[in-house]
């Protein structure tokens, strides 16, 4: 029975990796749910920061910060820790964030192996940090130009980009193999994590995913 389960796991793995003529599984719903779970963790971290920063703002300690400095500070205390934390989890032995572990997903490279921290950092930089920083910049740009008669065109462009990037990321989950642009750029993929009783032995060869 164990041999049958392992054979089924190998077959499933090959199908996921797209090496037996089958379109790779998308796991779009699972990936979205996983990100919502991760987002709850991000909100918890933001709440911790708010408990510290709001009193500082109310006392006027942050009022003197220029727009660029305020944007940089928010990135350092919020965006950077979240991006680094997600990268650390995806490059760990579990190869998954908290949300992905709940949904039994893991991040691998094109050979099906665990990714290094540098690649995980690049992946989450494109997935999380880039849209987030653009959004931050858009908010500060709108605030900084609110006193002018007309909002400059570049501000509207920045605002549009802040919305377009996340939408593209989500829509790409439902197209073709479901690999997002940041998956392709960092040569990574998200796959189902085999259950312990159907795990593929370590000596089983893996074949590259299609890029």
> pLDDT tens-digit profile of 31-61?
999 999 999 999 999 899 888 877 777 777 6
**What residues make up the domain containing 156?**
2-194
204 in any annotated domain: no
207 in any annotated domain: no
The count of structural domains within the chain is 1
**Range in 68-72, 73-77, 84-88, 199-203 the model is least confident about:** 199-203
Q: Which pTM does this prediction carry?
A: 0.73
**Range in 75-79, 116-120, 127-131, 184-188 the model is least confident about:** 75-79
- Cα torsion at 20, 90, 114, 21 (round to 10°)? 10
Segments in 17-79 forming alpha helices (H): 28-58, 67-74
76 in any annotated domain: yes
208 in any annotated domain: no
The model's pLDDT over 116-168, given as tens digits with 9 standing for 90+, comes to 999 999 999 999 999 988 887 787 777 767 666 677 778 788 888 888 999 99
209 in any annotated domain: no
CA distance 76 to 122: 17
72 in any annotated domain: yes
Is the distance from CB of 75 to CB of 133 less than 8 angstroms? Answer: yes
Tokens 């990796």, residue? 17
Is the distance from CB of 172 to CB of 189 less than 8 angstroms? Answer: no
167 in any annotated domain: yes
16 in any annotated domain: yes
Q: What are phi and psi of 22, to 5 degrees?
A: -110, 140
Q: Facing residues of 9 across strands? A: none
Q: Is 188 helix (H, G, I), strand (E, B) or coil?
A: strand
């Amino acid at each position: 029975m164990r041999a049958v389960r392992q054979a089924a796991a190998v077959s499933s793995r090959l199908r996921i990796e797209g090496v037996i003529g089958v379109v790779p599984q998308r796991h779009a719903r699972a990936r979205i749910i996983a990100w919502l779970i991760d987002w709850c963790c991000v909100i918890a971290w933001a709440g911790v920061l708010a408990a510290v920063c709001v009193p500082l703002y109310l006392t006027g300690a942050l009022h003197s910060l220029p727009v660029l400095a305020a944007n940089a500070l928010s990135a350092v205390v919020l965006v950077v820790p979240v991006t680094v934390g997600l990268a650390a989890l995806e490059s760990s032995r579990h190869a998954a964030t908290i949300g992905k572990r709940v949904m039994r997903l893991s991040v691998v490279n094109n050979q099906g192996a665990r990714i290094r921290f540098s690649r995980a950092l690049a992946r989450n930089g494109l997935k999380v940090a880039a849209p987030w920083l653009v959004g931050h910049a858009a908010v500060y740009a709108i605030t900084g130009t609110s006193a002018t008669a007309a909002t400059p065109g570049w501000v509207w462009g920045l605002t549009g980009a802040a919305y377009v990037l996340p939408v593209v990321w989500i829509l790409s989950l439902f197209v073709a193999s479901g690999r997002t642009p940041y998956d392709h750029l960092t040569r990574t993929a998200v796959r189902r994590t085999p259950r312990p009783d159907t795990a593929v032995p370590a000596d089983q060869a893996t074949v590259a995913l299609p890029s």
